[in-house]
């Protein structure tokens, strides 16, 4: 079947369908990672987004159950230059096409992804749609224009767990952490478990007073999709944790929520940071980390770098981390769990554990 990618400005890209024969609208974004398409597709942070992969050949190593970052595909669609229909990998259990069809996600191949990426870099991330059909229809553009975009939407509620659950090994753990699930990736939970925490995950809207009743050693705000500003409940809960001076760590959306809870503002980036090659400097150690990122919003730094800033993006100088000299607080905009991506920042989970340990010794 043919497939059509339609942008809100009226641009049309014609290619071939290799996913589910349907139609979806969303924000068109690109990711520059050279591998990890399964992790990208199953990352809840991609809710309501159609992902363009800039690496030209996709599908060559197939799909396997171990690399899922959530229980299903979260992205609204997939755009690639060349799809490889016959994967070659001893871990592969199914093809990327079968995976997309199983979760009813449309995908298009055979278009100029370099041209599309250059357009997004120049004009910002547009709304768009994928349409599988024999012929183009003017109704496709009408459907794209009817999509209001992700700004102002609370997407965390849509991807969050509906009930609390425990993750990993609980016995023999010195400290416990309560995780607010705004779209948490499985590897983040795995890293918290490996760092030495007993992990319990809660729905995004859970009142923080409920968590306080269980006397957790620490609190964690997860990654997630979309705009942080509509998440008033999350910002309020984070503020109460900070007010009680309890250990708190946030990643990506969690970082933005901490920023808003501490009086800062957030802004939508022109085309966001998505890929496994973003250089970030740790202002404390002066070391540069190559990081995995996936976000379209950022904490506003202001005219000068604040004392709370711990990390900066070396490409555009945007804020990549917050901390405090007086409170047990840390957050980063990027993804230290490296799934997919480099492992430069995995130390942050150990830093979090050590921060909690130091806090417990001072109590």
Q: What is the dihedral of CA 112, 114, 117, 122, to 10 degrees?
A: -110
252 is catalytic: yes
Active-site annotation holder among 24, 39, 229, 252: 252
Residue 149 is encoded by which pair of tokens? 């975009």
What strands lie across the sheet with 288-299, from one edge to the other?
A: 165-167, 197-203, 175-181, 218-221, 248-251, 329-332, 319-323, 309-313, 266-282, 288-299
DSSP label at 347?
H
Looking up tokens 């109704």, which residue turns up? Answer: 139
In the residue annotation, 295 being an active-site residue is answered as no
Among the listed residues 222, 229, 276, the one whose alpha carbon sits nearest the alpha carbon of residue 252: 222
Question: Distance between CA 218 and CA 229 in Å, rounded?
Answer: 24
> What phi-psi label fits residue 247: left (phi over 0), alpha (psi between -120 and 50 degrees) or beta?
beta
Contact 63, 38 (CB under 8 A): yes
Question: Is 335 in the active site?
Answer: yes
Which residue from 8, 2, 80, 5 is spatially nearest to 40, judged by alpha carbons? 80
Per DSSP, 228 falls in state S
C-beta atoms surrounding 259 within 10 Å: 26
| Contact yes or no for 15/2 (Cβ under 8 A) | yes
Prior bond of 340 cis (ω within 30°): yes
Q: What is the CA radius of gyration of the chain?
A: 20
Q: Which ranges of the chain would DSSP assign to H, the alpha helix?
A: 37-41, 96-102, 113-123, 139-145, 156-159, 186-195, 208-212, 232-243, 253-261, 347-362
**What are the C-alpha distances in Å from 297 to residues 118, 252, 280, 282, 359?**
20, 9, 16, 20, 31
The residue from 23, 24, 289, 337 that is catalytic is 337
Residue positions annotated with a catalytic role? 252, 335, 337
């Amino acid at each position: 079947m043919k497939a059509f990618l339609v942008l809100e400005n009226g641009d049309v890209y014609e290619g071939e369908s290799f996913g589910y024969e349907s139609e979806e609208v969303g924000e068109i974004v690109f990711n520059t990672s050279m591998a990890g398409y399964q992790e990208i597709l199953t990352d809840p942070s991609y809710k309501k987004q159609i992902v363009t992969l800039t690496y030209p050949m996709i599908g060559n190593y197939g799909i396997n159950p171990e690399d899922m970052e959530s229980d299903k595909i979260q992205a609204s669609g997939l755009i690639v230059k060349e799809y490889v229909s016959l994967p070659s990998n001893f871990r592969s259990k199914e093809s990327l096409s079968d995976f997309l069809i199983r979760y009813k996600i449309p995908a298009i191949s055979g278009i100029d992804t370099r041209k599309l990426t250059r357009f997004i870099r120049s004009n910002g991330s547009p709304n768009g749609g994928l349409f599988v059909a024999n012929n183009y229809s003017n109704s496709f553009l009408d459907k794209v224009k009817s999509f209001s975009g992700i700004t102002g939407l609370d997407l965390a509620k849509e991807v969050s767990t509906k009930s609390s659950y425990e993750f990993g090994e609980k016995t023999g753990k010195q400290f416990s952490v309560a995780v607010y699930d705004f779209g948490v990736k499985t590897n983040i939970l795995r890293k918290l478990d490996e760092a030495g925490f007993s992990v319990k995950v809660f729905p995004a809207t859970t009142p923080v007073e409920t968590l306080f009743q269980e006397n957790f050693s620490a609190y964690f705000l997860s990654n997630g999709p979309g705009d942080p500003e509509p998440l008033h409940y999350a910002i309020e809960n984070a503020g109460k944790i900070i007010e009680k001076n309890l250990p708190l760590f946030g990643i990506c959306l969690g970082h933005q929520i901490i920023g808003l809870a501490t009086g800062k503002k957030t802004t939508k980036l022109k085309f966001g940071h998505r890929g496994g090659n973003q250089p970030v400097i740790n202002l404390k150690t002066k070391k540069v980390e190559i990081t995995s990122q996936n976000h379209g919003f950022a904490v506003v730094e202001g005219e000068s770098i604040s004392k709370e800033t711990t990390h900066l993006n070396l490409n555009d100088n945007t804020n990549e981390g917050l901390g405090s000299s007086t409170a047990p607080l840390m957050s980063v905009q990027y993804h230290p769990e490296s799934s997919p991506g480099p492992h430069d920042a995995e130390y942050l989970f150990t830093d979090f554990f050590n921060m909690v340990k130091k806090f417990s010794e001072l109590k």
